[in-house]
Amino acid sequence: MLKKQVYVDRASPVPVYYQLKEALKEQIESGVYKPHERLPSERELEEAYRISRMTARRALEELEAEGYIYRAQGRGSFVAEPKIRQGLLWLTSFTEDMKERGMCAGARVLEVRVLKDEKVARRLKVDPDEEFVKLQRLRTADGEPMALEVSFLRRKLCPGLEEYDFNDRSLYKTLEEFGLHLGRAEQTVEAKVADDFEAELLGVKPGTPLLSMERVTYLADGQTPIEYVRSLYRGDRYKLFVELKRR
């Protein structure tokens, strides 16, 4: 199962497990090992590189935590599907993003509620007494959990939104049906690790890296806020892409 020997430099200040991990990562990215193909076992790595079992295990454990491989009890380590590359330029919906990739977007509604929320009002710079429709969903792609999302919509702009069944309906499409045309959004991205609740819903181990995104969306006039969203995307399945131009 060892396809190509990698060079491990014992004299290097870079730990051996790290060198091995980076080398295997490179082999996965360059297609030496294809998605769902089995990787060398801990024992095979141990023998091939004359390293300790612990060193081999650590390299594989970290590759798993970073989303490059998945491990099946008693069967070994396998190459994971490549990460989904998410562009940051356009204001798109999860449904549109998935459709573009030929995947089927799905949702499991966890909570729908009408409420007031001071923090959200502050984020949207609206009256603290305003009502929001809170919508919490687990988002799936071809049935696989991808993101956990909680959105707050200004109810007075879309009264009755809470009546819709968002298990099989796009939020952005529904807003368009209300005549609310979205124009732009402000978004931040930061790193987070999955806690027990998030991990369970997303089907990952607690501690898995997540991309935490916060978005405030405005209507086509560019200044009327409509939505505040917190999205937690699986860091082992997603990477962000943005094109930069030299100033």
Residue with tokens 């004359």: 50
DSSP state of 75: T
Taking CB under 6 A as the binding criterion, the range among 25-33, 34-42, 90-98, 195-203 that sits at the site for ligand 16G is 90-98
Shortest Cβ 230–ligand 16G spacing (Å):
9
Distances in Å between the Cα of 55 and the Cα atoms of 5, 18, 50, 51, 79 are 16, 9, 10, 6, 19
Element (H, E) at 115: strand 105-115
Shortest Cβ 227–ligand 16G spacing (Å):
6
What distance in Å separates the CA atoms of residue 79 and residue 124, rounded to the nearest whole number? Answer: 42
# residues contacting ligand 16G (CB under 6 A)? 14
Using CB under 6 A, which of 149, 208, 218, 232 touches ligand 16G? Answer: 149
Distances in Å between the Cα of 152 and the Cα atoms of 135, 215, 222, 242 are 6, 10, 18, 26
Tell me, residue by residue from 205 to 234, as one string, x for binding to ligand 16G by CB under 6 A and - for no binding.
--------x-x-------------x-x---
Angle of helix 42-49 relative to helix 53-65, nearest 10 degrees, comes to: 130
Window 92-121: residues binding ligand 16G (CB under 6 A): 93-95, 105
Shortest Cβ 104–ligand 16G spacing (Å):
11
Q: Give residue 245's identity as a one-letter amino acid code.
A: K
Does the footprint of ligand 16G cover residue 51 (CB under 6 A)? no
Window 151-190: residues binding ligand 16G (CB under 6 A): 151, 170-173
Shortest Cβ 149–ligand 16G spacing (Å):
6
Give residues in contact with ligand 16G (CB under 6 A).
93-95, 105, 149, 151, 170-173, 213, 215, 229, 231
